[in-house]
């Protein structure tokens, strides 16, 4: 499949798309031995020979990883405060990978990591409405009627938050576990929903993204996504 030259350069790790455009306009990129200066140029990553500043550019293998993030880890590569980072759970040679979206430090569960920017955009942009399922533990015995408004939408700090579905999994006088399905992916959405009814989330775990479930993946461990799983995530739901 042909792609724009600046995207190919970005995917190969040569430069960002904007920096890649500058390289092209400055005449520093060639395709099959010919200097290219037009931004609309497309290349076939499998057939065309691309060079930047005289060095060959090779398509970088795209990686798609599922991680069971433990509580206490942050979703960044490096942290000046030396807190534990999710990248520490992966092999060092995968330092190029970025998280797809975020889980806050105190949240745990399923998160993807990849070097494919298009995949990341598809998984996180609200227009694609990718399902994300969470289990939230809150204190006390919860009346189901208190969480019914979540499906109609609740206001928090001027923003409307809405769950596609919500149900109680377990309840006792000490604690209640609630399952919520979301599709918009707003910042700290589950915790903020419960704040509107005066409850603090004690534990929050993401157990599913699209059709991919956390399953029995151990805490702190990772696995690669299969081709069928990747296709299922990119297919219209």
Q: What is the pLDDT of residue 96?
A: 83
Which residue intervals of 26-162 are DSSP H helices?
117-124, 149-152
Question: One of 11, 44, 53, 104 is an active-site residue; which one?
Answer: 104
Q: What is the pLDDT of residue 59?
A: 81
- Write out 169-182 in H/E/C secondary structure: EEECCCEEEEEEEE
Question: Angle formed by the axes of helices 117-124 and 227-234, to 10°?
Answer: 50
Cα 166 from chain centroid? 22
The domains found in the chain, sorted by start residue, are 3-57 (3.10.290.10), 64-127+212-234 (3.30.70.580), 131-209 (3.30.2350.10)
Residue the block writes with tokens 């006390």: 140
Q: What is the pLDDT of residue 78?
A: 78
Q: What is the pTM of this model?
A: 0.82
Give the SS3 label for residue 39. Answer: coil
- Give the containing element (helix H, strand E) for 213: strand 212-213
Distance separating alpha carbons of residues 45 and 177, to the nearest angstrom? 48
143 catalytic? Reply is no
Q: What is the pLDDT of residue 40?
A: 87
Q: What is the pLDDT of residue 237?
A: 59
Distance separating alpha carbons of residues 229 and 65, to the nearest angstrom? 11
Give the residues of the chain that fall short of pLDDT 50.
none
């Amino acid at each position: 499949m042909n792609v724009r030259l600046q995207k190919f350069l970005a995917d190969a790790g040569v430069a960002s798309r904007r920096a890649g455009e500058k390289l092209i306009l400055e005449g520093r990129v060639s395709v099959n031995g010919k200097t290219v200066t037009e931004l609309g140029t497309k290349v076939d990553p499998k057939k065309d020979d691309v060079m930047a500043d005289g060095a060959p550019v090779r398509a970088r293998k795209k990686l798609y990883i599922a991680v069971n993030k433990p509580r206490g880890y942050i979703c960044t590569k490096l942290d000046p405060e030396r807190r534990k980072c999710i990248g520490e759970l992966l092999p060092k040679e995968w330092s190029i990978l970025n998280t797809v979206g975020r889980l806050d430090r105190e949240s745990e569960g399923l998160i993807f990591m990849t070097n494919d920017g298009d995949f990341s955009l598809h998984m996180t942009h609200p227009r694609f409405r990718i399902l994300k399922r969470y289990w939230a533990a809150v204190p006390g015995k919860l009346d189901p009627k208190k969480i019914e408004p979540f499906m109609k939408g609740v206001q928090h700090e001027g923003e409307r938050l809405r769950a596609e579905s919500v149900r109680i999994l377990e309840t006792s006088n000490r604690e209640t576990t609630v399952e919520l399905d979301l599709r918009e992916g707003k910042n700290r959405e589950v915790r903020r929903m419960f704040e509107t009814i005066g409850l603090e989330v004690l534990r929050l775990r993401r157990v599913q993204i699209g059709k991919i479930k956390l399953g029995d993946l151990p805490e702190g461990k990772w696995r690669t996504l299969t081709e069928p799983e990747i296709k299922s995530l990119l297919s219209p739901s």
